[in-house]
Chain A
Amino acid sequence: MRDAPKVLEGPPAPEAELRWNRVRRGRGLARGAGHWLRRNAAVLLVYGFLLIAWEIVGSLPSVPAFILPSPSEILHRVARDPGKLVFHSLVTLQEVVLGFLLAVLAGIPLGVLIVSSRFLERLLYPLLVALQAIPKVALAPILVIWFGFGPTSKVTLAFVTATFPIVINTVVGMAQTPPEMIHLMRSLGASGLQTFTKVRLIAAAPHVFGGFKIGITLAMVGAVVGEFIASNSGLGYFLLIANNAFDAPLLFGIVILLSLLSIALFYLIELLEMLVLPRPLRRRASGVRPGAGV
């Protein structure tokens, strides 16, 4: 060790220490908010500007309200009757969350099966791709015939839409473990289950969470499409009502609400990811880091 490079002998590299400290210090809530504002000032400014521009254009006498209502008009309309919006939102949310949970319960095992057997891969993969290739709108009428006008057909549609990305990402994630690692585990006498739980599943987790994030937004699309086709509640249904009534401010309000709900669900998954994943596996989705072996 005499002439080893310095870094091999000292305590953990000071830069690494610093990096973690900085992350931790940012965790204080008040500090965090101030920091966040400073970092995103430019972005907020752009959005603020766009909002003001929209307000101005929307208020021009030459732009009729049924084509582009201004943000204030939309807010006004939404505030007039929030009860119905909340009710329909809850219906849609329930369908999305249920469909998504089913997709998780089915998608992960399917992905694992596809990775673990050539036969099952050949059997299931084309089926999944074919199912994914069908425009979900085309499926909706069939599902309505099968499951009726109620939420079941929407939950099913959300489930079918959300499953695919979860399966695919599970497959990609499971393939992250290099064959040598599997040899290594086998040479230690590890069972297939041990290799799965101690190595492959954890290595796959960041990808699986990536699949969740795509899946939850697709589940929203699936549920709303289902409501469009045939239903008597939910935001998709409410949207049609508003459309038929030429109630543009409400229409815009619902669209914005749908998008806000999607964003909220997306970040809920991300929060869960931060809580569940061990530290070095976080941020995986957002960037490839050097020296990532497994």
Chain B
Amino acid sequence: MKLAPAGPAPARSASNRTPFVELKDLSMEYDLTADARLLALDRVACSIAESEFCAIVGPSGCGKSTLLMLTAGLYHPSAGQVVIDGRPVIGPWDGVGMVFQRDLLLEWRTVLENVLLPVEVKRLPRSEFEGRARSLLRLVGLAGFEGAYPEQLSIGMRQRVGICRALVHDPVLLLMDEPFASVDLLTREKLGLDLLRLTAEHPKTVLFVTHSVEEAVLLSDQVVVLGPRPGRILRRLENDLPKPRTLASRSDARFYRLVDEIRGAFQAAGVLS
């Protein structure tokens, strides 16, 4: 909707990993008061291929959430731009699904009605999408709960509903802002792996913001490590942990190597001491 019209076809690089999401030297400054400004992001540049799962990991206040807002077109960057499939983002655009730390379910709607919210807002034909909503719910183990109200569900189940809602309108990009941060550890890994199963079934490009180094490594194809404020990229790592990922992936030697590498980057930046 709010993507600039495509210019001359960008020269596609020879590699098979043509960028789908490109962050081009993104900076973001907030006005705190008339003369105090906060630099939240400092020239962040990276690219994410189509259907790639990119985890962004960093300490609190490093501008991770700002990065997602910029990608969704909800904020305008102070400098640089976000480019989706060759077209610069100039405002909220069609094709984004968002999940936040809070599940943000509407208490007065049933599970199914919550999942169908994007369909309603975008005035898509409900008859077509209701089946899709039901099958998404089935995929996350919530078959039978379509008519339940959010208050009847556990926190983990509520967040699953939130994920279905983000996928129901078949977005090309899934933006997730610490989606599992308020879930207990056991459920958390379960939810992460469920998410991988979902995105295997419905391929999506995913930007996944998290505090947890382990979670980033378990789920991603690429890890972007952001340093403390102002957020800038400390490292980018290709994640070669074999797929499909399971709970057993955690015992893989590569898992620990990657986790160590990321922690090393934080240590070098003085985040961990």
**Cβ–Cβ < 8 Å partners of A199 in chain B:** 106
**Cβ–Cβ < 8 Å partners of B98 in chain A:** 183-184, 187
* B151 and A289 contacting across the interface, CB-CB below 8 Å: yes
User: Known contacts A1-B141, A188-B121: does B69 contact A183 (CB below 8 Å)?
Assistant: yes
**Cβ–Cβ < 8 Å partners of A183 in chain B:** 69, 72, 74, 98, 100
* B149 and A10 contacting across the interface, CB-CB below 8 Å: no
CB < 8 Å A-B pair total = 101
Question: Which of A88-96, A245-253, A273-281 lies at the interface with chain B?
Answer: A273-281
Q: List A149-191 residues whose CB lies under 8 Å from chain B.
A: 178, 180-181, 183-190
* A186 and B92 contacting across the interface, CB-CB below 8 Å: yes
Report which of B100, B108, B151 forms a contact with A180, defined as CB distance below 8 A.
B100
User: Known contacts A16-B148, A279-B149: does B108 contact A187 (CB below 8 Å)?
Assistant: no
Most buried by B among A11, A181, A280: A280
**Cβ–Cβ < 8 Å partners of A4 in chain B:** 141, 190
Interface of B is mostly: loop
Report which of B94, B106, B117 forms a contact with A202, defined as CB distance below 8 A.
B106
* Complex CA distance for A278 and B150, rounded to whole angstroms: 13
* Complex CA distance for A8 and B142, rounded to whole angstroms: 7
Is A194 an interface residue, CB under 8 A from the partner? yes
User: Known contacts A187-B98, A278-B108: does B158 contact A293 (CB below 8 Å)?
Assistant: yes
Is B34 an interface residue, CB under 8 A from the partner? no
* Complex CA distance for A281 and B101, rounded to whole angstroms: 22
Is A9 an interface residue, CB under 8 A from the partner? yes
| Nearest B-chain residue to A180, judged by Cβ | B100
**Cβ–Cβ < 8 Å partners of B141 in chain A:** 1, 4, 8-9
Interface string of A188-209 (1 = CB under 8 A from B): 1110001000110011000000
**Cβ–Cβ < 8 Å partners of B221 in chain A:** none
* B74 and A186 contacting across the interface, CB-CB below 8 Å: yes
**Cβ–Cβ < 8 Å partners of B157 in chain A:** 8
Is B250 an interface residue, CB under 8 A from the partner? no
Is B104 an interface residue, CB under 8 A from the partner? yes
* A280 and B105 contacting across the interface, CB-CB below 8 Å: no
Report which of A10, A11, A187, A280 forms a contact with B151, defined as CB distance below 8 A.
A280
Question: Smallest CB–CB gap between A111 and chain B, Å?
Answer: 20
Is B130 an interface residue, CB under 8 A from the partner? no
* Complex CA distance for A94 and B60, rounded to whole angstroms: 58
**Cβ–Cβ < 8 Å partners of B151 in chain A:** 280, 289, 291-292
* Complex CA distance for A148 and B198, rounded to whole angstroms: 71
Interface string of B144-155 (1 = CB under 8 A from A): 110111111011
* B104 and A181 contacting across the interface, CB-CB below 8 Å: yes
Question: Smallest CB–CB gap between A277 and chain B, Å?
Answer: 8
**Cβ–Cβ < 8 Å partners of B120 in chain A:** 198
* A198 and B121 contacting across the interface, CB-CB below 8 Å: yes
* B121 and A281 contacting across the interface, CB-CB below 8 Å: no
**Cβ–Cβ < 8 Å partners of B190 in chain A:** 3-4
* Complex CA distance for A176 and B158, rounded to whole angstroms: 19
Is B194 an interface residue, CB under 8 A from the partner? yes
Q: List B51-86 residues whose CB lies under 8 Å from chain A.
A: 69, 72-74
User: Known contacts A12-B145, A198-B117: does B102 contact A280 (CB below 8 Å)?
Assistant: no
Report which of B100, B148, B155 forms a contact with A291, defined as CB distance below 8 A.
B155
| Nearest A-chain residue to B120, judged by Cβ | A198
Question: Smallest CB–CB gap between A38 and chain B, Å?
Answer: 28
Report which of A7, A278, A294 forms a contact with B105, defined as CB distance below 8 A.
A294
Is B215 an interface residue, CB under 8 A from the partner? no
User: Known contacts A8-B141, A291-B155, A294-B107: does B194 contact A1 (CB below 8 Å)?
Assistant: yes
| Nearest A-chain residue to B139, judged by Cβ | A1
**Cβ–Cβ < 8 Å partners of B172 in chain A:** none
* Complex CA distance for A290 and B151, rounded to whole angstroms: 8
Question: Smallest CB–CB gap between A17 and chain B, Å?
Answer: 9
**Cβ–Cβ < 8 Å partners of A291 in chain B:** 150-151, 155, 158
* Complex CA distance for A186 and B91, rounded to whole angstroms: 10
For the complex of A and B, 3 pairs with smallest distance between CB atoms: A278-B108, A180-B100, A16-B152
Q: Which residues of A contact B (CB under 8 A)?
A: 1, 3-5, 7-13, 16, 178, 180-181, 183-190, 194, 198-199, 202-203, 277-281, 289, 291-294
A-B contact pairs, 24 of them (CB 8 A): A1-B194, A3-B190, A4-B141, A4-B190, A8-B156, A10-B144, A12-B144, A180-B177, A184-B100, A187-B98, A188-B96, A188-B169, A189-B122, A194-B121, A198-B120, A199-B106, A202-B106, A280-B108, A281-B108, A291-B155, A291-B158, A293-B158, A294-B105, A294-B106
